[in-house]
Amino acid sequence: MYECHSLKRFLRLILLDILVFSLCGAFFLIGKNLFALSVEKSDDEPVFLPVIMYHSVFGNSPEEYIATPMQFERDLAWLSENGYSSVSARQLVDYTNNKDTLPEKCVMITFDDGCYNNLSEVLPLLEKYDMRAVVSVVGEYTDVTAVNDPHMPAYSYLTWDDINVLIESERVEIGNHTYNMHSFRGDRKGCSKNISETEEDYRNILFSDLSRLQSEIKEHTDILPVVFAYPFGFVSDESVPVLRELGFAVTLNCTERPNYITHNPECLYGLNRYNRSGLYSTEEFMRKIFGE
Ligand SMILES: [Zn+2]
């Protein structure tokens, strides 16, 4: 009788152990799945990406589109001290296609027009602060203007040799800023569509201009840009199919707002940018973007 009672008690204890063990296992699996779900969710959160637009960097007299090398260095120091890493356009493309990650705090640094000082003044500072940038060139400035008056930091443009030095540094990615539409001609502002022209005429003009510069960049550097910067930020909806057809995956405008990058490649068309006017101090400019 005593033995029988002990046996029943023993069996009850084993059953209890099995129950407790099973419940622990179940809670562990549920917890693990919940944790996995929360990680996945946070990975899908849009990434805050401010894009800064510079032009010329030289001298001691800052203007709306000229920052001094000292201002540029202070900007890089501020970004670095506050934990920001610069990203390239190709990195953004890879991120949206789930092929790469982005730093927790990222910023994109861009230069328009292809000024020679982007090599003489900017590149050494990018190297010093371990940063990257996108330099979007105007074909005619490089083909014609740069050749006639090369290598004056105040006003020269990048030659093809200069552009290759930038590419070889692996700190600069080259973008397209039109071959010959960086102007105000008649009703046309930059590469936007004239009200008077047909969609087909506009398409042909834009395609011809942009493909000319794409071909020249490919010929001189063996690289085909994926980023396009709209001259003066004038955007026409009709330009988008042409840009897609030519393989551009990132386009840059001049609306001063931040961007939120997702895993949808469409979010890279029309990235907003903040013009880095030389008329602000680094602190004033960064407060405008980051509010810090
Ligand atoms: Zn420009």
CATH code, 200: 3.20.20.370
Cα–Cα distance list, 186 to 70, 141, 203, 245, 280 (Å)? 38, 21, 18, 27, 33
Q: Are residues 97 and 166 in the same domain?
A: yes
The pTM assigned to this predicted structure is 0.85
Q: Are residues 40 and 57 in the same domain?
A: no
Residue numbers of the domain that contains 27? 1-45
- The number of domains in the chain is 2
Q: In a structure prediction context, what are the per-residue pLDDT tens digits for the chain, which is 292 residues long?
A: 444 455 455 446 554 455 444 544 444 444 444 444 433 435 679 999 999 999 999 999 999 999 999 999 999 999 999 999 999 999 999 999 999 999 999 999 999 999 999 999 999 999 999 999 999 999 999 999 998 888 999 999 999 999 999 999 999 999 999 999 999 998 899 999 999 999 999 999 999 999 999 999 999 999 999 999 999 999 999 999 999 999 999 999 999 999 999 999 999 999 999 999 999 999 999 999 998 6
CA-based torsion, 62, 285, 127, 109: positive or negative: negative
Q: Return the pLDDT at 149.
A: 82
Q: Are residues 80 and 119 in the same domain?
A: yes
Q: Return the pLDDT at 43.
A: 61
Q: What radius of gyration do the chain's Cα atoms show?
A: 27
- Closest-CA residue to 183 (of 118, 138, 247): 138
List beta partners, residue 135: 111, 174
Q: Are residues 1 and 91 in the same domain?
A: no
- Tokens 């959160």 -> residue: 45
CA of 81 to the centre of ligand 1 (A): 29
C-alpha 257/C-alpha 209 separation (Å) is: 29
CA of 116 to the centre of ligand 1 (A): 14
Q: Are residues 76 and 149 in the same domain?
A: yes
Q: Return the pLDDT at 12.
A: 62
- Max CA-CA distance within the chain? 112
CA of 11 to the centre of ligand 1 (A): 83
CA of 54 to the centre of ligand 1 (A): 10
Number of Cβ within a 10 Å radius of residue 234:
17
CA of 111 to the centre of ligand 1 (A): 9
Q: Are residues 76 and 173 in the same domain?
A: yes
CA of 217 to the centre of ligand 1 (A): 17
Q: Are residues 10 and 80 in the same domain?
A: no
Q: Return the pLDDT at 31.
A: 45
Q: Return the pLDDT at 4.
A: 45
DSSP E strands: which ranges in 139-284? 172-176, 184-185, 188-189, 227-229, 250-252, 259-261, 274-275
Q: Which amino acid is at 13?
A: L
Q: Are residues 51 and 18 in the same domain?
A: no
Does residue 145 contact residue 205 with C-beta atoms inside 8 Å?
Answer: no
Cα–Cα distance list, 45 to 61, 91, 104 (Å)? 42, 17, 11
CA of 157 to the centre of ligand 1 (A): 12
Q: Are residues 63 and 95 in the same domain?
A: yes
CA of 15 to the centre of ligand 1 (A): 77
CA of 112 to the centre of ligand 1 (A): 5
CA of 110 to the centre of ligand 1 (A): 11
Q: Are residues 226 and 129 in the same domain?
A: yes
Q: Return the pLDDT at 286.
A: 98
C-alpha 90/C-alpha 179 separation (Å) is: 22
CA of 45 to the centre of ligand 1 (A): 32
- Contact residues for 58 (Cβ-Cβ < 8 A; gap 6+): 66, 68, 69, 115, 117, 120, 121, 153, 154
Q: Are residues 30 and 77 in the same domain?
A: no
